[in-house]
Homo-oligomer: A and B are copies of this chain.
């Protein structure tokens, strides 16, 4: 195990501990027995996860000279509350049944309603409860951030970045909805969605938060590094996500095989497939992509076309190039040597992952 892989394990366990502690502190506020399903759902959706966003934040902090202060783990962990909120709402918006191999939040509350035999629509109850759960975690994320224990001067310096990230996340998700509904699915539009959906929110802003917290100022070099490294790692991260959504192993992703194909996600992989497809192949894609009832044979047929058109190879090559650019962006940045190695390793981990 490399030093920074060991560090990533430490970050994960510190983030887990912080999140458990945060929820525990809120128990007196949410002690009514009827609220127990809401709280246990929050705990379950906060458990696990790759913790990449906290890791980018942590290494930003260390890179700009921040010490090994326990408060940075709490601040970084708050990004996982924001992410859990986004996932719970995303699953409602996409009507997804599964998340990390478990029922999605709205399905879980729907089952609670059905099993208890309550009246009214179980589906509507499930959706409503999941919207509220997502809101609760969204609210809690800023509470955890603000109460992390970091110096007030750090928090004040990073507040604009924090606010901006949250608005950007909601706007980016709206742009993604639009792209699915009427996007041209060109290379440009697919890249733009990848950048807004993951680039900024998953990589660039967490890293910037860490750097600004430690520097207590938004230095020009911080913006340069975050834009370049964030853009490259973020896009490559999303391209990997797109590939996993089509070719990922359900045992590892926790999603049914080819789920993105059934949802009709308009990704770079699909844009490249359509751009290189024969008329007959394009016809199959147009006819079956986005069919919620697509069976295993249909998924296999689409996968085959994606491979035959060279789209898969092209996307893997893009990931490789973006990764190289990301590593290059670290060269000139005035960060600690330790952070440089860790951010290089994180870039590899974020773009070569299997889940």
Contacts and interface: CB of A to CB of B under 8 A. Distances in A.
A177 interface: yes
A173 B164 CA distance: 28
A159 B152 CA distance: 15
B170 A132 contact: yes
Interface of A: 26, 29-30, 32, 34-35, 38, 89, 92-95, 113, 116, 118-120, 124-125, 127-129, 131-132, 134-136, 138-140, 142-143, 146, 159, 163-164, 166-168, 170-171, 173-175, 177-178, 180-182, 264, 290
B174 A38 contact: yes
Nearest to A38: B174
B177 A93 contact: no
B139 A175 contact: no
Contact of A180 (B26, B120, B139, B140): B120
A138 B26 CA distance: 20
A317 to B, nearest CB: 29
A135 to B, nearest CB: 5
Contact of A128 (B120, B140, B177): B177
A93 B167 contact: no
A171 B131 contact: no
Contacts of A29: 164, 167-168, 171
Contacts of A180: 120
A92 B124 CA distance: 9
Contacts of A128: 92-94, 177
25 contacts: A29-B164, A29-B167, A29-B168, A29-B171, A32-B171, A32-B175, A35-B174, A92-B127, A92-B128, A93-B131, A95-B124, A116-B182, A119-B181, A125-B177, A125-B181, A129-B174, A129-B177, A131-B131, A135-B135, A136-B167, A139-B142, A139-B170, A142-B142, A143-B163, A146-B159
B113 A181 contact: yes
Contact of A181 (B95, B120, B138, B143): B120
Given A120-B180, A131-B131, A177-B129, A35 B93 contact: no
